[in-house]
């Protein structure tokens, strides 16, 4: 019953956030295109590109929240799905260059020409078609997530083990994409795009449109995720997160629930990647770096996991901070980011959204409750506290991680 | 566009007035050719410059011709006519190849005084006094340098630093010097010197060496040295037009040696050999190759063990914090890095304050690194980790943040670039183990890794602390009721794990970069090892590390370094599907999540 | 719009956006100063190499200001950190140009960084001075390549080994990314051109930051024991070099037996190494700290004074920044303007002294002329120049040893005005 209330409350907020995103999708491009340069309310070109990038990151964080916040799968490899989507888009954009590359080769991208490739490898076929590329944007990450999840969830690889093998997955992909022999441009990745669907990629109009599409895609993903989590399936997802064994004993198949969420999440991440590439103009194997995926986890944690819109806020805020710090105080950026990690995990276990919710709750019923104490044990709402006990019980059941379980040292 | 670069002498800079590169296809000209020409007493230029020849063109041409012949004559004069002193004086100037010839002539004199001189030359320690042309070695004394005549070893006064010029050497000259030293020391009193001399002659086989080798063989009594000399002799015979019989014999001698160098000589020989000796050579090659293929397997196992021991060192601290305590410490790599930087600091202190103890640096660094990282670990545990028990994934985030902070802090303090940590001599070089080349630093790291593992095992099984650690991890409440101060044990366990990471850092400073990124390179691999081996099991970590190391090294020759690593990762992912709890999984109810 | 969104109390996301829009970076460009953008990684994996370049740029700007600035204005450096994150590099480049209104940018180290920011410079028509030796196969109107192209480093080095050391067998070892791949392709073609058989060339690639070199070094050793003189041409990148050289030293590969000539190892990299076992191994660069010229001596002195540490070394990319900065300053003086188009027109043909006693000229293909120096590693971590080209080698954007690029030519002056002019079809190839 409590969960029901919580979900309803979230649903209301999510509609709000989606509405704002749609407004942003209209207003930002409009202000950029219609207002004259120098107008105080005009969003400069630079800012459009930047905001577009933030929103794709927000989408990635949202995708992670679906699996981490609701099913309890901490994926440390979500950057891989994002990058795969990005590569699919990048391959389309590369093919669009056609004979305008520096060597004027109509078929082969430049990097293949100067590394003496004779013909286009088979996995590049079809990417000159937009529809095919878009299909691949969803299919490739989705398929990888399906295969990976199929094995991992059926074998009941959970918790830390799962996190670490997802990390191994993205690491292996990074190393593979770094190889020039793979035919994805090696370390340089894919770059120097010219146009998308015939529109020049650097034109203001194209950028504004891409931005609008990104904001709308984010809004749509948010609503889809919200619909999933508010459905009956969503409740099973939360049950799997909080007590997987119990859910299984009741008769559900947690592996399928997990697999479903994982694949949906990967597809959203893939779309985010596809939107990211034309806006930043490059995709390279660095996107697969395990550190990037961990950063995504932090955006989600900072925003507040299990809230769907929290991660969006987290992604935008952290990335804005990154943009600001790397220009204003370059030397301090890592200190700030690192400090943020530590502070959030210690003081804001429910993220910003959770903290604000708690704060409001606290003010309203300050007389009724007083749970102050050690730093991490900040005042908790009823729901959070209830959820936490469940979580604590479930983690305690794990042999490695539980502190109250018999376990030989070696 | 032009693509053949113009080539020119080294040493001094040519004119670079214009932007037009001159003479694209000009051959390599030698540094001192000019110098040599001007040293000749009579040179074509003399006639030109004397300007006295009023007899017109004919006279001038005649004079030039005479000068030219004179020059040619001088140049062709047999070298042994010159004394050792004269030859030595010619060392500083001339092209590297000309000076190589002078070195060969010096070797032919057989004058043993030349050995230290040549050694100094190869080491780049030989100088020439610019004014007098005297060849000297120098030792700094205040603002001036003390000179010692390189040939006679007599002191030769002092000179200002600017007055002496170092005699340049390059690789080809060094090779010539090495061969010369070989010739000069073949009759040395020390067996080791004689052996290395013979080895040098084996590598630089010349028909001219035969006489010398025969002479040396006649009086050699040491069997090992004798064998090397015979091999050198055989290699030299192959360079002559010896009879088929002699060649076959030489091929046998060389085949018996059975190493790569022998294979190289035989392969080179195969191309130019007569048909009748060819089968013998081919047979020799085949025998050596079979032997080497066997060695390769052994070599790969060794490389695998050595890579595995590095992984073990990096992962074993993690096995404690992650395996025993359930804390995912992403800052583990940074503890390794701090250990390496501690080594750097300790070594610097030793270098500046106690230079005599340099060889012992690592021994000093070990306890210091352990203490420093253990203390940092305890501080982390008290400050951050203890608030997060039971929330493993959040320890991951917090410690990752911490790792960023530590990295950047080290970067701010020590700078972003690599720091130099020297190898003590006992960790440099390699030795031969039944044909398998083992480098000392790898060898000691394997030993060290196993020692750390053993000590850790003893600590866990045989000490009070280990007992308490195990008690706390098994049943915290019960342990607490029995009077164990559980928070204290937590802190110490984390400190121990971090301290061991610090020890790993000391070892890694000997083979890898000491840079702020050091830890990053190992953290993922370490997690793979612990997860593969089975969390909570030290033996699993040992077996896991060695297995991954060996698998990686066996894949590498076929797949290349990148693909090998990818394959190992895929292998781990698949393996975890099969055994979700790793190699040495804990059995029983506790395993069920 | 901002007001409206900010007024909705609960909407944190909107507030964040508003905050961002309100603070679009540090203030608007001031007219009194000329801004110079410095775009290097100060954190992450590349910080190891790039931090020094940021410092040298700050020093050059400071020195120029002491001389009275440019066009009567003071220069103002704007430093950003690209954190070894290449999409971030594009973002930062855009920020420098659009928000900070810098007139020229000095930066990037890796090829991927350059490739990532290149479209930005093209779109916004600004200037980038790129200071590192690279794989060539590129010439862009807005970019000036002050580092070496392959014909200014790789080919002369191979010539030296072939002629001076008599090398017949070659190991081309590199990190697996575009610079080694391309350089090795060029070298392979060049060597085959010179009559080296295919089986006498071994090519090996390793990942970034590779630290376990046992197998590869022993492979090199085996490859080198065939009786023919062997050398290693190393394009191994930065961090991986220290363990590589350590392994070489420990496995007893002396420079006399198998010399290694490296294109990415300079004084800065050697600073992390005990070089005693490496004496005799080679590096090819266009500058060495040990070069004895008055220009270099004063450069080193200024550098030491600026950085406040007598032990800091100088290296080739630093010289490239020195050349690039001076060229830009000279072109600005010549054009009497910092406008990108004016500078691009003025800079071709500009001649400034380099640190090795010659002059660097900006060529029409936006590369510069450089001497090629081959140095042997000394036990003090410095290089001893054993050989150098007689004159200056002009940088070639398009290698003549790759079939596709042999026909291409770059010329940014009228009438060609093209980065990839096809000399066969007499047309400007792609759209660059």
For residue range B379-428, list pLDDT tens digits in order: 999 998 888 877 777 888 889 899 999 998 998 898 877 888 888 888 88
Domain ranges within chain B, ordered by starting residue: 40-76, 185-276, 298-516
Closest chain C residue to B308 measured between Cα atoms?
A: C212
Lowest-pLDDT choice from A46-50, A233-237, B139-143, B314-318: B139-143
Nearest to B187 by CA among B208, B213, B148: B213
* Nearest-angstrom CA–CA distance, C390 and B13: 8
Q: Dihedrals φ, ψ of B155, to 5°?
A: -70, 145
Pick the residue from chain C with its C-alpha nearest to A118: C404
Task: State the average pLDDT over residues A343-349.
Answer: 85
Numbers of helices and strands, H then E, in chain C: 14, 19
DSSP class of residue B485?
Answer: -
Q: Is C285 helix (H, G, I), strand (E, B) or coil?
A: strand
Q: For chain A, give every domain's residue range.
A: 2-290
Confidence check on the interface: ipTM exceeds 0.85, yes or no: no
pLDDT at B587: 53
**Residues in chain A closer than 8 A to C419 (CB atoms):** 102
Does the distance separating the beta carbons of A244 and B590 come in below 8 Å? Answer: no
Neighbours of chain B (3+ CB pairs under 8 A): A, C
Of all residues in chain A, the one with the smallest CA distance to B568 is A172
User: Among all residues of chain C, which has the CA nearest to that of B8?
Assistant: C390
Question: How much is the average pLDDT of A338-348?
Answer: 86
Residues of A in Cβ contact (< 8 Å) with C111:
187-188
Alpha carbon distance A17, A312 (integer Å): 9
Question: Which residues of chain C does A313 touch, with a Cβ-Cβ cutoff of 8 Å?
Answer: 12-13, 16
d(C-alpha A69, C-alpha A74), whole Å? 8
C-chain CB neighbours of A284 within 8 Å are 86-87, 112, 116
Is the CB of C306 inside 8 Å of chain A's CB atoms?
no
Residue B570: its chain A contacts at CB < 8 A? 172
Contact C430 A320 (CB under 8 A): no
Q: How far is B97 from chain C (nearest CA, A)?
A: 8
Q: Which of B167-181, B507-521, C54-68, C128-142 has the lowest mean pLDDT?
A: B167-181
Question: Among all chains, which residue has been given the structure tokens 């060192």?
Answer: B313
Stretch 192-251 of chain C: residues touching chain A, C-beta under 8 Å: 205, 207-208
Unique residue bearing structure tokens 């066969």: C424
Which pairs with CB-CB distance under 8 Å and at least 24 residues apart come from A328-334? A328/C26, A330/C42, A330/C43, A330/C79, A330/C80, A330/C81, A331/B408, A331/B412, A331/C42, A331/C43, A331/C81, A333/C43, A333/C81, A333/C83, A334/B404, A334/B405, A334/B407, A334/B408, A334/C43
Would the pLDDT of B58 be above 80?
A: no
How close C99 gets to chain A, by Cα (Å)? 8
Contact C214 B442 (CB under 8 A): yes
Task: Using CB atoms, pick whichever of C81, C86, C98 lies closest to residue A282.
Answer: C86
CB pair distance less than 8 Å for B460 and A409: yes
Higher pLDDT, B527 or C60: C60
Beta carbons of C137 and A175 less than 8 Å apart: no
- Most B CBs within 10 A among A334, A378, A406, hence the mutation to make, goes to A334
Those residues whose C-beta lies under 8 Å from the C-beta of residue C425, and which sit 6 or more positions away, are none
Residue C388's SS3 state is strand
CA distance to partner chain A, nearest, from residue C31 (Å): 17
Task: Give me the pLDDT at residue C432, please.
Answer: 40
* Partner-chain residue, chosen from B400, B401, B580, that has the shortest CB–CB distance to A156: B580
Helix, strand, coil tally for chain C in percent (to 5): 40, 20, 40
Q: What is the CA radius of gyration of chain A?
A: 22
C275: Cα separation from own chain's centroid: 24
| C257-274 exposure pattern, b = at least 16 Cβ within 10 A, e = fewer | bbbbbbbbbbbbbbbbbb
Q: What is the pLDDT of residues B446-503, one digit of tens each?
A: 999 999 999 999 998 899 988 888 888 777 788 889 888 888 888 999 999 999 999 9
Q: Does C349 touch chain A (CB under 8 A)?
A: no
Checking if the pLDDT of B213 tops 80, the result is yes
- Is residue B324 scored above 80 in pLDDT? no
pLDDT of residue A10: 55
Instruction: Give the one of A169, A175, A338 whose C-beta lies nearest to B573's C-beta.
Output: A169
Is A285's pLDDT higher than 80?
yes
- Where is average pLDDT lowest: A173-182, A227-236, A371-380, B338-347? A371-380
Q: B424: which chain C residues are within 8 Å (Cβ-Cβ)? A: none
Give the pLDDT confidence of A60-78 residue by residue, as tens digits: 999 999 999 999 999 999 9
Q: Give the list of residues 6+ apart from residue A349 with CB closer than 8 angstroms, or none.
A: A376, A378, B391, B394
CB contact, 8 Å: B386 with chain A? no
Mean per-residue pLDDT, B348-374: 91
**pLDDT (0 to 100) of residue A182:** 85
**Residue B136 three-state SS:** strand
pLDDT per position as a tens digit, B565-574: 899 999 999 9
Judge: C16–A317 Cβ closer than 8 Å, yes or no.
yes
Distance separating alpha carbons of residues B251 and B266, to the nearest angstrom? 7
Structure-token pair, residue A30: 């409009």
Asked if C313 has any chain A CB less than 8 Å from its own CB, the reply is no
Half-sphere exposure of B504 toward its Cβ, with a 13 Å CA cutoff? 30
- Of residues A344, A404, A407, nearest to B477 (C-beta): A404
Which partners does chain C have (≥3 C-beta pairs < 8 Å)?
A, B
SS3 state of residue C261: strand
Contact B417, B521 (CB under 8 A): no
Q: Which two tokens stand for residue A142?
A: 């989705």
Q: What pLDDT was estimated at residue B70?
A: 55
Which stretches within B273-391 are classed as H helix? Answer: 278-318, 332-353, 361-383
Nearest Cα to C84, choosing from C105, C109, C102? C109
Nearest CA in chain B to C389: B7
For the record, the structure tokens of B62 come out as 């005649």
Check if the beta carbon of residue B301 is closer than 8 Å to that of residue B550. yes
Distances (CA, A) of C316 to B507, C239, C296, C373, C387: 32, 17, 12, 11, 16
CA distance to partner chain C, nearest, from residue A391 (Å): 28
Nearest Cα to C159, choosing from C191, C113, C117, C114? Answer: C191
- Residues near B1 by beta carbon (within 8 Å), at least 6 away in sequence: C151, C394, C396, C398, C400, C409
E strand map for A146-297:
190-191, 195-196, 199-200, 282-283
pLDDT < 50 stretches in chain C? 1-30, 431-432
- End-to-end CA distance of chain B: give it in Å, rounded: 69
Class of domain C154-262: alpha beta
| Subunits in contact with chain A (3 or more CB pairs closer than 8 Å) | B, C
The interface residues of chain B toward chain A in range 268-327, judged by CB-CB distance below 8 A, are 322-324, 326
When scoring C159, C204, C206, C215 by the number of chain B Cβ atoms within 10 A, the one with the most, hence best to mutate, is C215
Q: Find out whether the peptide bond into A203 is cis, omega within 30 degrees of 0.
A: no
Handedness of CA C98, C101, C104, C106 (dihedral sign): negative
Calpha distance A224→B553 (Å, rounded) = 48
Average pLDDT over residues B317-329: 81
Segment of B78-87, B469-478, B506-515 carrying the highest mean pLDDT: B506-515
Q: Please list the residues that pair with C422 across neighbouring strands.
A: C408, C427
Task: Name the residue facing C42 among A21, A41, A330 (closest C-beta).
Answer: A330
Lowest mean pLDDT among A278-287, B335-344, B413-422: B413-422
Q: Which residue has the tokens 């640096």?
A: B361
Asked if the Cβ–Cβ distance from B16 to C358 is below 8 Å, we say yes
CB B518 within 8 A of CB B512: yes
Residue C95 near residue C39, CB atoms below 8 Å? no
A405 and B403 within 8 Å at the Cβ level: the answer is no
Count the residues in chain A: 410
* DSSP element (H, E) containing C262: strand C260-262
Plot region of C249 (φ>0 → left; ψ -120 to 50 → alpha; else → beta): alpha
Nearest-Cα residue of chain C relative to residue B293: C222
> Whole-prediction pTM value?
0.83
Pairwise CA distance, residues A178 & A176, whole Å: 5
| C-beta neighbour count of A36 within 10 angstroms | 6
Strand partners, A393: none
Nearest chain B CA: its distance from A377 CA (Å): 9
Q: What residues of chain C lie within 8 A of the CB of A31, using their CB?
A: 1
Q: Which residue of B has its CA nearest to A375?
A: B387
Q: In terms of Cα–Cα distance, which of B182, B240, B180 is closest to B210? A: B240
- Residue range A19-62, pLDDT digits in tens: 999 999 999 898 888 888 878 888 888 889 899 999 999 999 99
Length of chain C (residues): 432
B290 CB burial (10 A radius; 0-12, 13-18, 19+)? exposed
Please state the domain extents for chain C: 1-29, 154-262
Residues of A within 8 A of B473 (CB-CB) are: 403, 407, 409
pLDDT over 50 at A330, yes or no: yes
**Cβ partners under 8 Å of residue A310, min gap 6:** A65, A300, A303, A304, A351, A352, A353, A354
Beta carbons of C391 and B1 less than 8 Å apart? no
CB-based contact B390 A341, cutoff 8 Å? no
Mean pLDDT of chain A: 84
pLDDT in tens, A94-141: 998 888 888 888 888 888 887 778 888 999 998 989 999 999 999 999
C2 CA: distance to closest CA in chain A (Å)? 8
Q: Are A309 and A353 in contact (CB under 8 A)?
A: yes
The pair of structure tokens assigned to A85 is 């989507």
Report chain B's mean pLDDT, rounded to a whole number: 79
Q: B397, A160: Cβ pair inside 8 Å?
A: no
Band (pLDDT 50/70/90 cuts) for residue B64 is low
Measured between CA atoms, the residue of chain A closest to residue C431 is A100
Residues of B in contact with C49 (CB under 8 A): 417
The structure tokens 């001189």 sit at: B117
Are the C-beta atoms of residues C216 and C241 closer than 8 Å to each other? no
Cβ contact B335:B502 at 8 Å: yes
pLDDT at B569: 92
C365 — phi, psi (to 5°)?
Answer: -90, 15
The pLDDT assigned to C254 comes to: 83
The per-residue pLDDT for range A253-263, each reduced to its tens digit, is 999 999 999 99
Residue A127: helix, strand or coil by DSSP?
Answer: coil
> Is the pLDDT at A326 greater than 70, yes or no?
yes
**10 Å Cβ neighbour count for B475?**
17
Q: Are A336 and A327 in contact (CB under 8 A)?
A: no
Considering only the beta carbons, identify the residue of C211, C216, C361 that sits closest to B512: C211
B578: confidence class by pLDDT, cuts 50, 70, 90: confident
Which are the contacts of B522, defined by CB distance < 8 A and separation ≥ 6?
B311, B314, B333, B336, B508
Q: How confident is the model at residue B585 (pLDDT cuts 50, 70, 90)?
A: low
């Amino acid at each position: 019953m409590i969960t029901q209330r919580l979900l309803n409350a979230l649903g209301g907020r999510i509609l709000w956030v989606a509405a704002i995103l749609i407004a942003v999708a209209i207003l930002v491009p409009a202000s950029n295109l219609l207002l004259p340069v120098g107008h105080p309310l005009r969003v400069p070109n630079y800012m459009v590109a930047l905001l577009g990038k933030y929103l794709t990151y927000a989408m990635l964080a949202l995708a992670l929240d679906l699996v981490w916040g609701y099913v309890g799968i901490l994926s440390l490899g979500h950057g891989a799905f994002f990058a795969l989507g990005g590569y699919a888009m990048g391959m389309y954009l590369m093919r669009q260059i056609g004979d305008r590359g520096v060597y004027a080769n109509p078929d082969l991208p430049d990097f293949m020409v100067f590394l003496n490739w004779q013909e286009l490898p088979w996995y590049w076929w079809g990417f000159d078609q937009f529809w095919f590329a878009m299909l691949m944007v969803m299919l490739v990450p989705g398929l990888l997530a399906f295969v990976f999840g199929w094995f991992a969830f059926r074998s009941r690889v959970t918790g830390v083990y799962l996190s670490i093998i997802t990390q191994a997955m993205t690491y292996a992909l990074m190393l593979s994409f770094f190889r020039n022999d793979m035919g994805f441009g090696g370390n340089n990745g894919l770059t120097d795009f010219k146009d998308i669907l015939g529109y020049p990629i650097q034109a203001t109009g194209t950028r504004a449109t891409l931005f609008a599409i990104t904001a709308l895609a984010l809004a749509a993903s948010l609503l889809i995720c919200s619909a999933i989590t508010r459905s009956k399936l969503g409740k099973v997802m939360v049950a799997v997160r909080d007590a997987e064994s119990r859910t299984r004993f009741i008769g559900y198949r947690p592996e399928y629930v997990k697999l479903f969420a994982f694949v949906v999440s990967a597809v959203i991440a893939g779309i985010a990647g596809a939107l990211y590439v034309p806006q930043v103009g490059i995709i390279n194997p660095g996107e697969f770096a395990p550190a990037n995926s961990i950063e995504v986890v932090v955006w989600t944690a900072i925003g507040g996991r299990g809230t769907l819109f929290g991660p969006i806020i987290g992604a935008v805020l952290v990335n804005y901070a990154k943009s600001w710090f790397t220009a204003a105080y370059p030397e301090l950026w890592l200190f700030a980011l690192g400090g943020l990690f530590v502070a959030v995990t210690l003081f804001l276990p429910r993220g910003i959204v959770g903290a604000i919710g708690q704060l409001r709750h606290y003010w309203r019923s300050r007389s009724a409750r007083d749970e102050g104490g050690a730093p991490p044990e900040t005042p908790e709402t009823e729901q959070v506290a209830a959820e936490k006990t469940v979580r604590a019980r479930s983690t305690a059941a794990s042999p490695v991680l539980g502190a109250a379980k018999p376990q030989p040292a070696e | 566009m032009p693509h053949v670069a113009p080539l020119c002498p080294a040493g001094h800079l040519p004119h670079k007035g214009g932007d037009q590169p001159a003479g694209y296809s000009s051959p390599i000209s030698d540094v001192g050719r000019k110098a040599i020409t001007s040293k000749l007493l009579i040179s074509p230029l003399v006639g030109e410059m004397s300007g006295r020849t009023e007899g017109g063109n004919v006279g001038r041409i005649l004079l030039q011709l005479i000068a030219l012949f004179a020059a040619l004559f001088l140049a062709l004069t047999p070298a042994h006519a010159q004394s050792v002193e004269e030859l030595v004086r010619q060392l500083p100037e001339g092209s590297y190849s000309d000076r190589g010839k002078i070195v060969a002539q010096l070797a032919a004199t057989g004058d043993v005084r030349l050995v230290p001189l040549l050694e100094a030359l190869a080491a780049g320690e030989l100088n020439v006094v610019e004014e007098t042309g005297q060849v000297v070695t120098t030792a700094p004394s205040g603002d001036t340098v003390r000179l010692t005549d390189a040939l006679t070893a007599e002191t030769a006064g002092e000179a200002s630093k600017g007055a002496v010029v170092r005699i340049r050497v390059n690789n080809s000259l060094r090779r010539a010097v090495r061969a010369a030293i070989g010739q000069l020391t073949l009759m040395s009193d020390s067996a080791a010197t004689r052996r290395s001399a013979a080895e040098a002659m084996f590598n630089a086989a010349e028909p001219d060496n035969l006489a010398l080798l025969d002479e040396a063989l006649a009086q050699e009594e040491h069997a090992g040295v004798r064998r090397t000399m015979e091999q050198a002799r055989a290699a030299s015979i192959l360079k002559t037009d010896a009879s088929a019989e002699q060649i076959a014999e030489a091929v046998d001698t060389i085949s018996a040696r059975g190493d790569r160098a022998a294979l190289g000589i035989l392969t080179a020989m195969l191309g130019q050999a007569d048909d009748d000796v060819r089968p013998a050579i081919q047979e020799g090659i085949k025998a050596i190759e079979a032997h080497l293929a066997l060695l390769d397997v052994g070599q790969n196992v060794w490389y695998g063990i050595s890579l595995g021991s590095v992984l073990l060192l990096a992962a074993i601290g993690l096995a404690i914090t992650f395996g025993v305590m359930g804390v995912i410490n992403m800052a583990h790599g940074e503890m390794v890095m701090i250990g390496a930087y501690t080594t750097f600091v300790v070594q610097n202190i030793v270098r500046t304050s106690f230079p005599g103890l340099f060889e012992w640096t690592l021994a000093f660094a070990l306890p210091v690194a352990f203490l420093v990282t253990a203390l940092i670990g305890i501080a982390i545990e008290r400050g951050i980790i203890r608030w997060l028990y039971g929330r493993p994934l959040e320890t991951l985030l917090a410690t990752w943040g911490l790792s960023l902070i530590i990295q950047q802090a080290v970067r701010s303090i020590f700078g972003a670039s690599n720091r130099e940590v020297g190898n003590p001599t006992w960790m440099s070089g390699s030795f031969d183990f039944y044909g398998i080349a083992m480098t000392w630093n790898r060898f000691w790291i394997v030993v060290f890794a196993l020692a750390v593992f053993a000590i850790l095992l003893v600590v866990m099984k045989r000490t009070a602390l280990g007992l308490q650690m195990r008690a706390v991890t098994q049943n915290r409440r019960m342990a607490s009721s029995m009077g164990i101060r559980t928070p204290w044990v937590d802190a110490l366990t984390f400190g121990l794990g971090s301290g061991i990471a610090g020890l790993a850092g000391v070892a890694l400073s000997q083979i890898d970069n000491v840079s702020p990124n050091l830890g990053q390179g190992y953290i993922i691999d370490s997690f793979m090892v612990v997860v593969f081996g089975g969390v909570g099991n030290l033996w699993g970590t040992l077996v896991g590390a060695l297995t991954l190391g060996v698998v990686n090294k066996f894949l590498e020759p076929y797949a290349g370094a990148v693909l090998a690593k990818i394959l190992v990762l895929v292998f781990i992912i698949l393996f975890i599907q099969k055994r979700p709890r790793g190699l040495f999984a804990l059995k029983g109810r506790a395993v069920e999540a | 719009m901002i007001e409206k969104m900010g007024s909705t109390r609960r909407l944190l996301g909107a507030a964040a956006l508003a905050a961002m829009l309100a603070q679009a970076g540090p203030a608007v460009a001031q007219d009194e100063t000329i801004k110079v953008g410095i775009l290097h990684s100060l954190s992450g994996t590349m910080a190891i190499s790039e931090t020094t370049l940021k410092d040298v740029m700050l020093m050059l700007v400071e020195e120029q200001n002491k001389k009275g600035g440019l066009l009567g204005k003071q220069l103002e450096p704007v430093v950003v950190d690209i954190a070894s994150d290449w999409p971030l590099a594009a973002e930062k480049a855009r920020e420098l140009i659009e928000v900070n209104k810098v007139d020229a940018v000095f930066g990037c180290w890796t090829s991927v960084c350059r490739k990532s920011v290149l479209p930005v410079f093209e779109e916004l028509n600004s200037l980038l001075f790129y200071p590192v030796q690279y794989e060539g196969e590129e010439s862009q109107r807005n970019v000036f390549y002050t580092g070496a192209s392959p014909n200014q480093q790789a080919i002369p080095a191979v010539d030296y080994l072939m002629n001076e050391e008599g090398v017949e067998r070659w190991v081309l070892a590199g990190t697996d990314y575009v610079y080694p791949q391309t350089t090795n392709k060029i070298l392979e073609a060049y060597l085959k051109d010179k009559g080296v058989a295919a089986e006498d060339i071994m090519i090996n690639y390793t990942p970034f930051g590779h630290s376990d070199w046992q197998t590869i070094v022993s492979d090199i050793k085996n490859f080198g024991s065939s009786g023919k003189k062997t050398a290693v041409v190393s394009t191994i990148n930065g961090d991986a070099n220290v363990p590589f050289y350590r392994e070489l030293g420990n496995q007893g590969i002396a420079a006399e037996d198998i010399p290694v000539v490296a294109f990415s190892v300079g004084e800065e990299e050697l600073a992390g190494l005990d070089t005693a076992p490496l004496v005799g191994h080679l590096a090819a660069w266009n500058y060495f700290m040990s070069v004895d010229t008055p220009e270099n001596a004063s450069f080193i002195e200024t550098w030491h004074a600026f950085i406040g540490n007598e032990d800091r070394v100088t290296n080739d990319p630093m010289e490239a920044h020195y050349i690039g900065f001076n060229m830009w300053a000279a072109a600005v003086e010549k054009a009497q303007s910092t406008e990108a188009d004016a500078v691009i027109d003025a800079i071709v043909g500009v001649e400034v002294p380099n640190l090795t006693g010659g002059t660097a000229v900006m060529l029409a293909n936006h590369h510069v002329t450089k001497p090629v120096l081959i140095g042997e590693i000394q036990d003090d971590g410095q290089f001893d120049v054993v050989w150098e080209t007689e004159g200056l080698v002009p940088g070639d954007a398009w290698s003549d040893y790759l079939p596709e690029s042999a026909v291409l030519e770059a010329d940014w002056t009228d009438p060609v005005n093209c980065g990839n002019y096809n000399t066969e079809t007499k047309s400007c190839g792609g759209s660059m």
